[in-house]
Amino acid sequence: MTAARVHVARDHEAASRAAAEEFVRQIADRSRNATTFVALSGGSTPKRMYQMLAGDEFRPMVTWGQVHFFWSDERPVPPTDPDSNYRMASEALLQPLGIAPGQIHRMRGEDLDLPAAARAYEEEMARAFGVQWKSHPPRFDLVLLGLGADGHTASLFPRTVALQERRHWVVANPVPQLRTTRLTMTYPVLNAARCVLFLVTGRDKAEAVARVFSPTGAVEEVPARGVCPHDGELVWFLDEAAARRLDG
Ligand code: 6PG
């Protein structure tokens, strides 16, 4: 596993703030001079961090007009659905920042043909990065990820087929344990990033965090273990509750 920087903060608020500081540290300089690419995580944990980034303290630190926003995964719901990862980030971050539509690249979770939606998202990524999708995976400046209590990240769930994908950047991943199929970025894209930032808080994640950092354990069972940026940084922000099973 790539050597990770691990920061443990007192609680969810402190961990969110530390993660927001890292988010800015990772992209502030680049955004002043170049188009900057960020993949947002879903779920509920990052909402407070997103709100902070859009707030008076952090907002002025980034040239947001240069930042393009993608998602690491999306549920099979419309963008107006309470479960939509797009909706949460749009309400907490993108709308408050006034991000232009051309900078927002939403996964079409509502499409009935999710494999086609995955292909379309790869094409959109290729256009935004100015590459051919059959080339090497695009290199995101920053990928934000969360961790499920079962060890999943993005929508890479234990024992699902997307864990084996080495060519496509985005796939429709059947998740039998949830009786659903989700769109998700794959390890080739996640591991091409300049920086991957995990934000994980709460007692219910302590076991999964311990399994990620255990010296043994199969990626198949703990998919977050498979996130190891080849030539980039891996940073974890935890609160004390989520870190309580870590040694040392
Ligand atoms: C999703 C996320 C997923 C999330 C974890 C943690 O669509 O659910 O992308 O990987 O990060 O499930 O979710 P919470 O932050 O809600 O605990």
Counting ligand 1 atoms within 8 A of each CB, the residue from 12, 147, 163, 222 with the most, and so the one to mutate, is: 147
Quick check: 248 and 213 in contact, CB under 8 A?
no
Alpha carbon 111 to chain centroid, angstroms: 21
Give Cβ neighbours of residue 83 (< 8 Å, ≥ 6 apart): 75, 77
By CB atoms closer than 10 A (0-12, 13-18, 19+), residue 52 is: buried
Tell me which amino acid residue 27 is: I
pTM above 0.95, yes or no: yes
DSSP-derived secondary structure letter, 200: E
Q: Which two tokens mark 104?
A: 């927002």
Quick check: 9 and 44 in contact, CB under 8 A?
no
Interatomic CA distance for residues 9 and 51, integer angstroms:
18
Q: Which two tokens mark 5?
A: 């920087």
Ligand 1 atom with the smallest distance to the CA of 204 is: 17
Give Cβ neighbours of residue 132 (< 8 Å, ≥ 6 apart): 126
Give Cβ neighbours of residue 240 (< 8 Å, ≥ 6 apart): 8, 9, 10, 11
What pLDDT is attached to residue 1? 47
CA dihedral sign, ordered 78, 69, 219, 123? positive
Name the strand (E) or helix (H) holding 188: helix 187-190
pLDDT along the chain (248 residues), means of 10: 86 98 96 96 97 98 98 98 98 98 98 98 96 87 98 98 97 98 98 98 98 95 97 97 91
Counting ligand 1 atoms within 8 A of each CB, the residue from 70, 72, 73 with the most, and so the one to mutate, is: 73
What pLDDT is attached to residue 132? 84
Interatomic CA distance for residues 146 and 151, integer angstroms:
10
Pairing type for strands 170-175 and 180-185 reads: antiparallel
What pLDDT is attached to residue 134? 74
Q: Which two tokens mark 39?
A: 């993949």
Q: How many CB atoms lie within 10 A of CB 242?
A: 28
Task: Give the distance (Å) from ligand 1 centre to CA of residue 87.
Answer: 14
**What b/e string do you get for 100-139 counting C-beta neighbours within 10 Å, with b at 16 or more?**
eeebbbbbbbbbeebeebbbebbebbbebbeeebeeebbb
What pLDDT is attached to residue 154? 98
Give Cβ neighbours of residue 66 (< 8 Å, ≥ 6 apart): 31, 32, 34, 35, 36
What pLDDT is attached to residue 97? 98
Interatomic CA distance for residues 91 and 84, integer angstroms:
11
Interatomic CA distance for residues 207 and 27, integer angstroms:
31
Task: Give the distance (Å) from ligand 1 centre to CA of residue 59.
Answer: 24
